[in-house]
Amino acid sequence: MDFEATYFDGIRPVGQPVRLRLDREGQAWKEQEGATPPEKTVRVEMTDGQILHEDLAQWERFTHFDPGNHPPLEIVTRQGYPQRRLVFALLPPGSWLRETGLLGAGTLDGAGTSPRRLWNRLARLPAKPKALAGVTALLAAMTALVVFVVLPGLTPWIARVIPLEFEESLGRQAKQSFTEAFDFSEIQLSADQKSALGKVESRLSRYVGNGYTIHVVPVSGGMVNAITLPGGYILVFDEMWEKLETPDQLAALLGHELGHVAHRDGLQALIHSSALGGLGVALFGNNSALSGSVTAWGQSLLSLRYTRDQETRADDYGLKMMAGLGLNQQAAVDLMTMLIKESPGADALPEFLSSHPDTRQRIELLKQKIPSDAAPGSHFLNRREWRQLKKIPGAKSQRNGPGVGYMT
């Protein structure tokens, strides 16, 4: 079977008339719809009989095929560089090329792509897209491996080698970015309040050790929330102060947050989110995430959510601290119960979809861990100090923030 064609030799921009002749293998192949073309398929002859190619090693693409209009159809071989190109003159519609299914490959490189053609192509994947799909699946699997295994595994190691001074410096900057981003403000304290809070901070710093200086920062934001930033900064929002009923509930809250400090969860979350941002840039080729990170990375802490494991560990740490300081561990359960009351819808999501463990589940876990014969214990603060701290909430303001009824 012969076809008239035009041949560009890659040396001059002049087409030479050639004849395309199918050999026996090509004939056999063309009869199998959708089959992959064999290695030796065609032979190309000049009109004077000179043979240009015995075989075209691979068919790279067919372009410009439109059965209704049948303009020239091009075939580019992969032989050599620059590639050779054949242009079929006036290929009639309904010809063998159309029937082979090879035309599916013709749209591979984008020419003639449309949603319908894309669907057809996906439904009839020849070898090249299959390879592409395989590579894509491999890359996606590698990405998943990096995101879900490598990064979480590496993050604690990286956090461990970051000096404490550097973490504190990050924390200071994060606190500033955080408050500025949402227009929160630190609540001004009286001398007595500062003194009472100073005592709390000292106890916490002594307990956590490792050189940390704990800063408990009351913040006005109109929400029942507390957040731990890297470097020992614990932000407690005004409405949380208001809802706390006993000094031991405050201890339970701060004990939980101290767990995040001790485990360097804030730093880990920051490293993790930076690495994910970097990966996103690598994948999507957009530098905005990184350039943003230079100037306003601290704001990324707003979306900071610790993992369920981190939250559970922080709960355990808080309980241990309560026991270690001889406080009433039952206050942790009371605190959780209060949080449920404050945000009844917060646990609407199934547990596996939420970064936080279900609060009721946390309460159950806490109850299991509190010894039944635990002594009521002493109080975290004396009555005078507690009165001072309970006066802390300043002007209430209703602002949007990272959530309500949580301690993160």
List interacting residues with another protein (CB under 8 A): 8-15, 63-64, 76, 81-85, 87, 109-115, 117-118, 132, 136, 139-140, 143, 166, 169-170, 173-174, 176, 274-275, 278, 280-287, 290-291, 293-295, 297-298
Taking the C-alpha atoms of residue 70 and residue 131, their distance in angstroms, rounded to an integer, is: 30
CB nearer to another protein: pick between 92 and 292: 292
Q: How far is the CB of 83 from another protein (least distance, A)?
A: 7
CB nearer to another protein: pick between 109 and 342: 109
CB nearer to another protein: pick between 110 and 350: 110
Q: How far is the CB of 300 from another protein (least distance, A)?
A: 10
Q: How far is the CB of 170 from another protein (least distance, A)?
A: 5
Rounded to 10°, the helix 359-369/308-324 angle is 40
What is the separation of C-alpha 307 from the centre of its chain, rounded to a whole number of angstroms? 13
CB nearer to another protein: pick between 116 and 383: 116
Q: How far is the CB of 277 from another protein (least distance, A)?
A: 8
Taking the C-alpha atoms of residue 326 and residue 333, their distance in angstroms, rounded to an integer, is: 16
The answer to whether the beta carbons of residues 392 and 193 sit under 8 Å apart is yes
Spell out the long-range contacts of 355-363 with Cβ–Cβ below 8 A and sequence spacing 24 or more. 355/305, 355/306, 355/307, 355/308, 355/311, 356/305, 356/308, 356/311, 356/406, 356/408, 357/308, 357/311, 357/312, 362/311, 362/312, 362/315, 362/336, 363/333, 363/336, 363/337
Planar angle of CA 51, 104, 80, nearest 5 degrees: 35
3-state class (DSSP) for residue 331: helix
CB nearer to another protein: pick between 8 and 317: 8
CA proximity to 226, closest of 296, 148, 310, 304: 304
Question: Half-sphere exposure of residue 192, counting CA atoms within 13 Å on the CB side?
Answer: 9
Assigned token pair, 75: 């075939």
Q: How far is the CB of 2 from another protein (least distance, A)?
A: 23
Assigned token pair, 385: 């100090």
Helix segments in 113-244, DSSP class H: 115-123, 127-145, 151-161, 164-181, 191-208, 238-243
CB nearer to another protein: pick between 1 and 282: 282
Q: How far is the CB of 242 from another protein (least distance, A)?
A: 32
CB nearer to another protein: pick between 224 and 267: 267
Radius of gyration of the chain (CA): 34
CB nearer to another protein: pick between 167 and 358: 167
Q: How far is the CB of 79 from another protein (least distance, A)?
A: 12
CB nearer to another protein: pick between 81 and 395: 81
Q: How far is the CB of 280 from another protein (least distance, A)?
A: 7
Burial class (CB in 10 A: 0-12, 13-18, 19+), 226: buried
Taking the C-alpha atoms of residue 366 and residue 144, their distance in angstroms, rounded to an integer, is: 33
Q: How far is the CB of 349 from another protein (least distance, A)?
A: 23
